[in-house]
Amino acid sequence: MISNRFAKWNLIAISALLLLVYFGIETNGRSPELLRFFGRLHPAIVHFPIAIITLALILALLNRFRWVLIPDNVINICLILGSWTGVKAILAGSWLAQTGGYPADILFLHKVIGYGATSLCAASVFFRTSHAAMFKKPIVGVLTWSLMVIGLVVGGDLGGQITHGKGYVTQYAPGFVVSVLGHSDPMKERFDLSEPGITTIFEGIILPILTEKCSSCHGNSPREGRLNLASREGIKSNKGDDPLIVAAKPEESLLFQRLSLPEGHEDQMPPPLRAKPISFADVELIKWWISEGASFEQLISDSHISTTVGTILQAYGLGEIRTGVFALNIPVPDSAKVNAIRLKGVGIDILAEGENLVAVTCKVVSSCFSSEMDSLSQQVTWLDLRGSDVTDSDLNKLSSFPHLTRINLSDTSINGSGLAALGGLAFLEYLNLYDTKISDTSLEHITAVKTLTAVYLWQTAVTPEGISMLRAALPDAEIDTGELKN
Ligand code: HEC
């Protein structure tokens, strides 16, 4: 028979041991190899208390519903064994945690639950023997056992997360389990990429990777004079012999080198066995950041995104990247002015739903380049003057529409001398000069516009030599020459 006196001394002994382990095993210390070996057994050892506590619960249930009569004594013995094996698991766990590389916040919670469940075992035997009548009350029984079960489930889940990463336990779980345990899609949660136009590569992608994978060892509080990868300031302050980061040259950056070593290399980071490995995708993102100049300010939307990087970022929920004029904050067009212009026979269309950019079509240039149109100078993006009476001297008006991306001047009598006005258009991509009197002499105005991606010169006076010169000056642009094509 487990007496209350025995249960009391058991509780005192367990509490004393737990305090000893808590204060005796230094979190950041280094234990001898044999103890680290014992630490590695934690995942195996921890199943003893779990099994014994579960057995105690089953026996208590059998008793409660009077299916099988189990003496209280047997349940108490199970709980006492639960408390001692719990201490053993905590001891091993503490030595395992010492080897480092575990996420501190999850580890802390996991520890609290381990200590809590172990103390609860010892304490409940004490109260079961001192206040037996009270423990017969369903409410007390249900409360203590529920606490125990929640502890085991949540503690086990956290343990799974520590060794296998967030989402491991719930990956195949039904929806309600996922919501009870409070997990959501880890892919969408990891980085905040919903607004690439205001998120920097560093804050949005790189720092979260370094925090997750490296800062348990390379944190803000320098241990053994180690590298600090936990913050922008930390990274900037590192002064090793080899450069940590060489902007635009990942191969020369220690940060990338250490991540791309062959499996088993002694310098491999994170150190194998002691920390969770880093994925190819994460290494690829770090390489991308360094290639892009390792800037702390560069926005995701301002970067060159290769297919590989694009695929990775898509998987993490990258939002729409707005570039060129679409990245600008264009005010809503004044509808009274728009109507006034339309009344003059000028076509004005909204470029795309939800955008304030407009496309303008007109045949009589005097009605198009009017004072009302000046009020739309921010919004005009496409200008279609095909077949209109536009002259070269009208073209200097083009510079009052800085957001033009497409201009169609085909089938007009211009000779190109007015195209100098194109120089001020920072977004111009498309220029149609088909069936005009453009000649080689005005090509210099076109070559000056480096943003051009398509130029139409069919049926003009431009010579094949002029075309080659243009192609050399704008290698990325498509130069369409109709019958001149060779
Ligand atoms: C489990 C602890 C641990 C983790 C996690 C870890 N490192 Fe290390 N790292 C070390 C130790 C210890 C050293 C120093 C010994 C050495 O140079 O190998 C080191 C050295 C380095 C160095 C060389 C520093 C120098 O000046 O020579 C780099 C670079 C580095 N780590 C990068 C990383 C990156 C990036 C990550 C995350 C992806 C990471 N480490 C994760 C423990 C760790």
Superfamily in which the 335-484 domain is placed by CATH: Ribonuclease Inhibitor (3.80.10.10)
Rounded Cα distance between 190 and 165, Å, is 12
Please report the pLDDT score of residue 485 as a whole number: 46
Q: Cα angle vertex 167, ends 164, 169, to 5°?
A: 70
Rounded Cα distance between 23 and 42, Å, is 19
Which of 162, 211, 227 has most ligand 1 atoms within 8 Å of CB, for mutation? 227
Q: 145: which residues sit within 8 A by CB, 6+ positions away?
A: 57, 60
Closest CA to 113 of 85, 153, 76: 153
pLDDT in tens, 196-242: 888 999 999 999 999 988 988 888 775 555 788 989 988 988 777 88
Give the pLDDT band (50/70/90) at residue 246. very high
Please report the pLDDT score of residue 323 as a whole number: 75
Rounded Cα distance between 22 and 115, Å, is 9
How many A from CA of 270 to the centre of ligand 1? 6
Average pLDDT, the chain: 89
Rounded Cα distance between 98 and 465, Å, is 74
For residue 240, which atom of ligand 1 is closest to its CA? 26
Both tokens of 272, joined, read 């194998």
Look at 15 and 35; give whichever has higher pLDDT: 15
Q: Taking the CB of residue 250, how many other CB atoms lie within 10 A of it?
A: 22
Both tokens of 1, joined, read 């028979």
How many A from CA of 310 to the centre of ligand 1? 28
Which of 171-180, 186-195, 225-234, 243-252 comes out lowest in average pLDDT?
A: 171-180
Q: Pocket residues for ligand 1 (CB within 6 Å)? A: 100-101, 213-214, 216-218, 226-227, 229, 240, 254-255, 258-259, 267, 269-271, 274-275, 278
CA-nearest residue, atom 13 of ligand 1: 226
How many A from CA of 215 to the centre of ligand 1? 9
Rounded Cα distance between 152 and 231, Å, is 35
How many A from CA of 311 to the centre of ligand 1? 28
Give the pLDDT band (50/70/90) at residue 273. confident
pLDDT in tens, 45-101: 999 999 999 999 999 999 888 888 888 899 999 999 999 999 999 999 999 888 777
Percent of the chain with pLDDT over 70: 96
Q: 302: which residues sit within 8 A by CB, 6+ positions away?
A: none
CA-nearest residue, atom 17 of ligand 1: 267
H or E, element range at 107: helix 104-130
Query: Judging by DSSP bridges, how do beta strands 358-361 and 347-350 pair with one another?
Result: antiparallel
Closest CA to 98 of 45, 37, 156: 37
Three-class DSSP category at 3: coil
Q: 159: which residues sit within 8 A by CB, 6+ positions away?
A: 43, 46, 110
Which of 165-174, 350-359, 374-383, 388-397 comes out lowest in average pLDDT?
A: 165-174
Both tokens of 96, joined, read 């395992």
How many A from CA of 272 to the centre of ligand 1? 11
